[in-house]
Structure 1
Amino acid sequence: MEIKRAYRFRFYPTPEQEVMLARTFGCARFAYNHMLRLRTDAWFKEQKKVGYHETSAALTALKKQPEFAWLNEVSSVPVQQALRHLQTAFGNFFAKRAQYPTFKSKHDRQAAEYTSSAFKWDGKTLKLAKMDAPLAIRWSRTLPKAAKLTTATVSKDAAGRYFVSLLCNDTVEVKPAVVGKIGIDLGLTHFAIFSTGEKVAAPNTFRKNEAQLVKLQRRLAKKQKGSKNRIKAACKVARLHAKTADARKDFLHKLSTRLVNENQVIAVESLAVANMKKNHCLAKSISDAGWAEFVRQLAYKSRWYGRELVGIDRWYPSSKRCSDCGYTTVNMPLKVREWTCPECGSTHDRDINAARNILAAGLAVSALGESVNPVGI
């Protein structure tokens, strides 16, 4: 199966490369923000549509002006790509997939995208345009043999770490079929409960670092704005956030890979995570769990490796239905963790019973097309 795949590596720039990257990030950010203002003013003040080609022409004219001559000091490719990203952002907005584009800040994550014409790749080293030496990349894994790189995106996060993401063509082989089938019920105390009876504890990556984060944020709030000490304190906060995000991502990737390797059919309940976050008592824990990212990983890994992922409608009464006889109780508050079926007398763990019902519904959708309001993931 031919796919586009990105490989992300950390690298350590030299002082000269740091200066050039800072200029490149700044020029790309300026082009994005300037053209966003141009397009916004053209529409709201003159009712005039401005697209990518108009912004590209405006950028060319801008570079010819003496006060903006500094735009020519960096590679033109990342600056031009910023306009393409702006066009994509407007496309997502008009398709109702995202909110209206917002201005980029120098305090957030910085990124610059280089196409194949703006870098040199010899299979071992990567050299960007306007730089004298290749990047000192830490190759944590091996790229595919004869990989043809199409883009190289260089980024710097709020913690001051530099990364390069290499997009290339890759071939993924379908994994051999297995007999395993599993239903997954997602929760907070336990991150995932399987139809096999296994319960996976929630990693609680944010909760574990919350006390330390509060301490660092209080120190940051007391620093004078614009001072070097405030910059150092902000970097410490960003590093702790990065540590939390990395730990969560590592947990989700390991669990999703394991499930895809062991099971041919995976059934999971479709959850409206954005709506669930409106409950302020649970919003922090739901965000910390990373349910949406977990399902996203299951979706693309299942597609790559020939597995079947089935989504069950969020209104399916998985917790209130007896997995043995099919009896459905009327009410079941969240505080009820175990219950006995009045029809057949079976005693159920609420979450394991829900996972078994999710698996049964998923198999019905997969094999017989039963009506359980399946949702495509």
Structure 2
Amino acid sequence: MKTYNLAFKYRIYPNETQANTINQTFGCTRLVYNRFLGQRKELYEAEKKSVTYNTQAKELVPLKLELQFLKEVDSIALQQALKNLETAYKNFFQKRAAFPKFKSKRSTRKSYNTVSTSNNIRVEGNFLKLPKLGLVKIKLHRQIPQNYVIKSATISQEPNGAYYVSLLTEFEKDIKEVPSDNNIVGLDFAMSELFVSSDNQRADYPRFFRKLEAKLVKAQRELSRKVKFSQNWYKAKLKVAKIHNLIKNSRKDFLHKLSHELVTKYNAIILEDLNIKGMSQALNFGKSVADNGWGMFTTMLQYKSMFLGKQTIKIDKWFPSSKICSFCGSVKTELPLSSRVYRCDKCNSEIDRDLNASATRFVMKSYDMLKVA
């Protein structure tokens, strides 16, 4: 039995008092983060010294005596803000992220994190018990299994004003591997359709951003004409945020359903490890690539297949699957992006470019990689 973590995100509906407490906690955690980030920077610039999380955690007690309003919010949330600062520094020094920045009050998304202790975070019917908030109404669209233990909760507010909670759970599961020697599929990224499979299945991605792009442009134009921070400006900003939220939720819903269908149908999925950001910048396809959500889709495939004992394998991005004939295995020296049909010079076969790439990936790479995995 191995231990795994899985998060469940829900919409919550706090009353006026609870919403005020949540907003106050957002501000207090931001204040603590910025205060100790400033101290760290000043100490390093003056004495070339650094401090640890434990040292700053001790300084949090006198800060509460100085600023009494910090006692009104969840104390664990303040400690988590310091842990987040420590993580940000580690990511910087290990070259995984840029240097930590001060948090802005006008950030589009606000959040704070709290840890479950003595069952102080729990679901009770249609309500969620949270520290300092009590019972908050929750839209429990998906039940958490009884053997899943809630470890922490992240409360957030989206730009459209809606409140959400993400419950991180821990559970033990004995995942039995499913034999992957058959029922395998290869996926090739397609700009307009998301992917083409080796079974000639096409995702037919609805392109949610493109559908609402004109409406979004109009709303953003109206926002730019308003006096900043006026009442009409906030109304126009909310309108833009709602359109963005609709696009995001529609995309997630589509990708969740599609990834579930694929991992249920196939025992192994072979796909390419693409540099999506680099591809969008190099080819000026930024909007289309971002609209597809390929990175999110591959992440969904990986964790969903893992829980079912199946495999999602990424092959090297330099593997020339588009240039290899899926019928005879011959390799073309050149294949321009404008050529959407693959014509083999050796066996004279003709096939759709994306279908050929997915079939090549399936035929030539899958079995060898599955034996190693």
Please tell me the TM-score bracket, short chain as reference.
over 0.9
* TM-superposition CA deviations, 1:16-50 (whole Å, max 9, x none): 11111111111011111221222222223321112
Of residues 242, 267, 284, the one that matches 2:245 is 242
SS at match of 1:89: helix
CA–CA distance in structure 2, aligned partners of residues 180 and 236 of structure 1: 46
- Going from structure 1 to structure 2, the CA distance change for 1:194 and 1:336 (only over 3 Å counts) comes to same
Structure 2 gaps, min length 5:
none
Q: 1:130 to 1:368 in 2, by over 3 A?
A: closer
- What whole-Å deviation, never above 9, does each CA across 1:238-258 have from its counterpart, x for those lacking one? 111111111111111111111
Equivalent residue letter for 2:129: K
Aligned match of 2:343: 340
Q: Quick one: distance in 2 between partners of 1:300 and 1:122?
A: 25
Q: TM-score, structure 1 length as denominator?
A: 0.91
- The within-5 A match list for 1:142-161 is 142-161=143-162
Q: How does 1:337-376 map to 2 (within 5 A)?
A: 337-367=340-370
Conserved 8 A contact 2:147-2:171: no
2:248 matches 1:224: no
Q: Does 1:189 align with 2:213?
A: no
Aligned equivalent of 1:99: 98
Aligned counterpart, 1:372: none
State the 1:283 CA deviation.
1.4
* Deviates further, 274-283 or 344-353: 274-283
The match for 2:78 is 79
Quote the residue 2:132 is aligned against: 130
Normalised to the residue count of structure 2, the TM-score between the two structures is 0.92
Residue of structure 2 in register with 1:373 after alignment? none
Is the partner of 2:219 in helix, strand or coil?
Answer: helix
Residue correspondences, number: 367
For residues 1-377 of structure 1, the aligned pairs below 5 Å read 1-65=2-66, 68-107=67-106, 108-117=108-117, 119-121=120-122, 123-124=124-125, 125-131=127-133, 133-172=134-173, 174=176, 179-279=182-282, 281-367=284-370
- Deviation readout 1:197-252 (Å, 9 max, x if unpaired): 12222331111111111111111111112212211111111111111111111111
Per-residue deviation, 1:311 = 1.5
Query: Cα RMSD between the aligned structures?
Result: 2.0
**Contact map agreement 1:152 1:164 (CA 8 A) in 2:** yes
- Please report how far the alpha carbon of residue 186 of structure 1 lies from its aligned counterpart in structure 2 after TM superposition: 0.5
Deviating above 6 A after TM superposition, structure 1's stretches of 4 or more consecutive aligned residues are none
Q: 1:267–1:359: 8 Å Cα contact kept in structure 2?
A: yes
CA contact (8 A) 2:186 2:198 kept: yes
Further displaced range: 86-95 or 155-164: 86-95
1:323, distance to aligned residue in structure 2 (A): 0.7
Identity of aligned residues (%): 37
Q: Equivalents in 2 of 1:169, 1:368: separation in Å?
A: 31
CA contact (8 A) 1:302 1:309 kept: yes
More off after superposition, 54-63 vs 210-219: 54-63
CA distance in 1, matches of 2:179, 2:151: 33
3-state SS of paired residue (1:199): coil
SS in 2 for 1:88: helix
Equivalent residue of 2:211, what SS? helix
Structure 1 Cα separation of the partners of residues 207 and 329 of structure 2: 34
Greater mean alpha carbon deviation, residues 204-213 or residues 165-174: 165-174
Query: What is the rounded CA distance, in whole Å, between the counterparts of 1:39 and 1:273 in structure 2?
Result: 35
CA contact (8 A) 2:323 2:335 kept: yes
Q: 2:167 corresponds to which letter in structure 1? A: L
Aligned to 1:32, the other structure's residue is in SS state helix
